[in-house]
Amino acid sequence: MNGVTARRKVFVAMSGGVDSSVAALLLERQGYDITGVTFKLFEDDDDAGEAERPCCSLASVERARGVCHALGVPHYVMNFVADFRDTVIDPFVREYALGRTPNPCVCCNRHLKFDRFLRKARAIGADCIATGHHARVSGDGSHRLLPGRDAGKDQSYALSHLNQSTLPHVLFPVGEHTKAEVRELARAAELPTAETAESQDICFVLRGHYGDFLRRRGLPDAPGPIVDREGRVLGEHRGLHHTTVGQRKSLGFSSGKRMYIIEKRVADNTLVVGDYGEVCQAEVELEDVNWCDLPAGDWPEDATGREVLAMLRYRQKPVPATITADDAAQRRLGLRLERPAVAAPGQLLTMYDSGDGHVLGGGTIC
């Protein structure tokens, strides 16, 4: 974060947690004209479970408002109930119905924070938005997306949908700090969120397993066979949407050795399991690919043959990979991994530059 010019107006997305609170604190100290914004994501008739929400609750709104009051800056609530339903909850249900494993937090970042919120903020006068993500944007004019300084908290993996149409309008103030430093900054400023616990759960799944949420959303439990590659029946699952590719716990049968889910066959409602070698794959195909170094919708001329580092899940060590095929019209890529890894359909794969480590882009494993 380099110099500030003429009191740039920034809307800070504030969840009521310590990271977004310190993001607002840092920007206020750097001379930005900031406004705190908390999202309303749920209908009023969902409020019975408010106290259990890991974020986006009435309590989190009050915490965010308290931080803004302590900083002497405005705070508002923006209603994104319909957007959240249409772009996060409904796709979450549809993807599980197709046998895939979606990441709702990635969808929320992509469609709400860095699309709806960004567009609305700029439409009413903001120069940019800020969030509490542990990531960085290079300050040399290139707007490259970089991992956060704290490798253990880095969230750049979940931001590979950003590009040169959005990155110039986004700030990540806490990305230059470790989590411990963020906590200490909040304590020193006596912010009411200094000791707030981190959110680990899906915010719209209040009780039980996400499979129970899916059932309440109309995806019924449909028991079916669990088989190995040879077709031998080993047990019975209680519904494909209760499982994910790569899972090895709570499979519903005992074989005397570690078994993993390697395929969810929706066509015949069958769960296929095998050993770890069978669940890993060296060839991965991506759809809906975005390139961070280009404007939205653009495609590089030299994608095929490029060597990258591929992260197939959050906080996983990146795997060296080579792009083997690219289709600009369909926005698809093929990659060959140097070491076979678990690639769950529906999950995000983020590509990092094998040289300086900045985020090149990403897509959905298909």
Q: How many CA atoms lie within 13 A of 315 on its CB side?
A: 5
Of the candidates 203, 280, 292, 366, the residue annotated as catalytic is: 203
Q: Which residues contact 356 (CB under 8 A, 6 or more apart)?
A: none
Strand partners, 194: none
Is 55 among the residues known to form the active site? no
What is the number of other CB atoms lying within 10 angstroms of the CB of residue 93?
16
- Rounded Cα distance between 174 and 106, Å, is 19
- Rounded Cα distance between 193 and 36, Å, is 14
Of the candidates 55, 56, 107, 108, the residue annotated as catalytic is: 108
- Rounded Cα distance between 302 and 197, Å, is 44
Q: Which residue has the tokens 């990659």?
A: 335
Q: Which residue has the tokens 């298909």?
A: 366
- Helix, strand, coil share (%) of the chain residues, nearest 5: 30, 25, 45
Alpha helices in 201-345 (DSSP H): 210-216, 276-279
Is 203 among the residues known to form the active site? yes
Residue type, 26: L
**Residue spans of beta strands (DSSP E) within 131-215:** 135-137, 145-147, 170-171
User: Which residues are designated catalytic?
Assistant: 108, 203
